[in-house]
Structure 1
């Protein structure tokens, strides 16, 4: 198995040391606070920023739960070496001038609850403003571009100077590029190959690279999430698919897919409740149909639509007259389908439709 994220990038990935010069430059010229956003898991990047900050006489403040946890564990295990006196809490920053402060935070991908996002939206104890320099030491993961762009715009609106990967060498990828992936093939000479970690196009391209390097097409598995691949000494094949993906949890436990679908329909197209009052002896309609709309249309502004809907219901409800009680469920389902088609044609929307039959 091999990481496919940078299969589209030719050549080799830059060394992590290359961005050290960029940090040195911006720490030299910055006159205010410096806020660096990075992946919490990139311990060496944190060490680089910390070394430059300490050498420039700045204290360090770590923000974001994952960042704080990683720093604590890495220091305890000896992977991070930072003078304890150089680390301060966010409420201690007021004791220092702006040019003595460096904040290392999460949020390089524009995550809504991350440290950088909350600083940019003034929902954090440390608010970014004019005179601050923000270095986003990461590139946007495919799919996160909009979130990252939104945070950058918000930071500019606050008056901060923002440095990101399109402006300077503030990030090198942690993923191997195409030639490095090719080298791994040459070194390992795999019989079976499963490309992982990337969008589907990345997996396909990586699978083709493996075949160029001698892996048989039948031994290359471009798998979807949930696919079960069985490997033996003699063969490899996809044998099954298991349930996978996000599990939504409500107050009472896991939420079934049917419930999620209903909630989505309610949130997008609303609800229409139809109350039909019938004579219990012969199935005849006793009163005009009652229609209740929630989140679909405003009743007072849609009198023509409501009138036409009632006319359709009166026509459909006549099917109950003289019908056997065992057919009521089918008739009720038919009313729901007819009303669904009617409303979709008139409004281009498909609300949840709930027919209620009252027998008197």
Structure 2
């Protein structure tokens, strides 16, 4: 087993299983970029370890329909379109809609809880688990080398909105049969106790919408069907209509409604192009942007770049928890909205969201029910994995049988023993517009320098033989606070440095450009206290 993504990060979930030369992939998701990755749209798992072995892949199992578990499927299927996809009805419907945009028609197998499928050398049994999206599944993988239970994302809500419980009876049966390795969601392992109930959110949303004097804007994940249902119900109770905003939100909710996962009262939805004439106190806008994404609906509203303007008397509800790394972006949006006069309701001041991941108490239940021989915490940053490992040890699992791994760790399972036997060096694969994997860490460093320190160009025409400057130096700066006139003091230093270089026998254009770069770089660092990107252009006279 090789976790390709999802260990040490919240996203890019993907694990490769191999036996007898055949490969099974569980999940294939994306990670969303942070502020220090400017210009990046998505981050993919590193497919390099399977790129030359795509014909050995027997299937991709998708545990549920969140982007961090299905978002990279189109990029994998670009490499081989006929890899079978296995998942629940809703999960496959969401991924098929995504693949349609990439002009890919997949081979799919729809499964539900209780189903058992033989795929190559892998026997797969699917188990119902509760999560913040319907139709989530855990998968038990049985081979001649042993058995693995991978939870995907899950929690143990005892009163779920859709009535679909995490099947602890199936967990207990699998535990009796013997689980050699338990791969378990770690996201909330640091959180004591139990995750609150989803149904507790409905009354809070109902009360906030009832008291709102103006328009209401709700931001959530575009796949959070349960939350959208609660907003639809609250809006209906108080005579408001709902406008869904954002391509992914509209697409996903149309799919959910068609398949019966979303109950839509007649006349409750209003097309965003037909809102003119509807009073503010009769409307609820629901869109994306709860994580501070700069191009999402809520960010554009906060920046007054969207046709829906938020001002005095309006209410904004952020109906999601913060993904680690997004805190600053979200708080900036909250500040802008409040400055615009809105009342902002979020998880910090009202119970408008509960997590979709099992807290420590729920994880302890799982360990005690399953009694697995070995444990591999997955899905989380290292602190989450470590907290989950400590929980497993507390329940009596030997410390040497609890594996703390990272992306690219190679784990062998044989005769009930799971051991770490190697490590691949896997990196981030960046999607930037139409380019996939072409952006490097060096490119991102350049972008950060440009964004934070600015850009300085130096153009000079030189007689290479003598080092005499014929034209220039011409110096232009962008993103540097001072005007170009500030560089008059450094021009004589550049001329002198080029003359000295020529006297020392330097004739190479690249070497002369480096002389210019070092000269102005030292001066800018000392005088302006900046480390701007410097692009010298030396032309031979």
TM-score range for the pair, normalised by the shorter chain length? 0.7 to 0.9
1:309 aligned to 2:494?
A: yes
- Tell me the CA shift for residue 9 of structure 1: 1.5
- Tell me the CA shift for residue 78 of structure 1: 0.6
Structure-2 change in CA distance of 1:337 and 1:108 (3 Å)? closer
- Tell me the CA shift for residue 190 of structure 1: 3.1
Contact 1:229/1:237 (8 A) holds in 2:
yes
1:244 maps to: 427
CA distance in 2, matches of 1:331, 1:28: 71
CA distance in 1, matches of 2:280, 2:346: 21
Structure-2 change in CA distance of 1:287 and 1:113 (3 Å)? closer
User: Residue by residue, what CA displacement relative to the aligned partner does 1:33-83 show, whole Å, maximum 9, x if unpaired?
Assistant: 332222222211221221222232222221122221121111111111112
RMSD between aligned residues? 3.2
- Tell me the CA shift for residue 26 of structure 1: 2.4
Structure-2 change in CA distance of 1:92 and 1:243 (3 Å)? same
SS in 1 for 2:290: coil
What number of residue pairs does the alignment pair up?
A: 349
1:230 maps to: 411
Structure-2 change in CA distance of 1:159 and 1:272 (3 Å)? closer
2:505 maps to: 320
- Aligned residue among 346, 353, 356 for 2:526: 346
1:277 aligned to 2:463?
A: yes
CA distance in 1, matches of 2:216, 2:209: 8
TM-score by length of 2: 0.57
1:131 maps to: 313
1:200 aligned to 2:385?
A: no
1:120 maps to: 302
Contact 1:340/1:353 (8 A) holds in 2:
no
Contact 1:90/1:126 (8 A) holds in 2:
no
SS in 1 for 2:463: strand
Deviates more, 1:252-261 or 1:69-78: 252-261
Contact 1:129/1:160 (8 A) holds in 2:
yes
More helix per residue: 1
Structure-2 change in CA distance of 1:357 and 1:112 (3 Å)? closer
Structure-2 change in CA distance of 1:286 and 1:21 (3 Å)? closer
Contact 2:513/2:538 (8 A) holds in 1:
no
Structure-2 change in CA distance of 1:339 and 1:16 (3 Å)? same
1:70 aligned to 2:252?
A: yes
1:300 maps to: 485
1:80 aligned to 2:262?
A: yes
- Tell me the CA shift for residue 84 of structure 1: 3.3
CA distance in 1, matches of 2:201, 2:434: 46
Contact 1:90/1:125 (8 A) holds in 2:
no
Name structure 1 gaps, 5 residues minimum: none
Higher CA-based Rg: 1
Contact 1:289/1:313 (8 A) holds in 2:
no
Structure-2 change in CA distance of 1:248 and 1:101 (3 Å)? closer
Contact 2:467/2:498 (8 A) holds in 1:
no
CA distance in 2, matches of 1:195, 1:45: 28
1:155 maps to: 337
CA distance in 2, matches of 1:251, 1:48: 37
TM-score by length of 1: 0.82
1:37 aligned to 2:219?
A: yes
Structure-2 change in CA distance of 1:190 and 1:299 (3 Å)? same
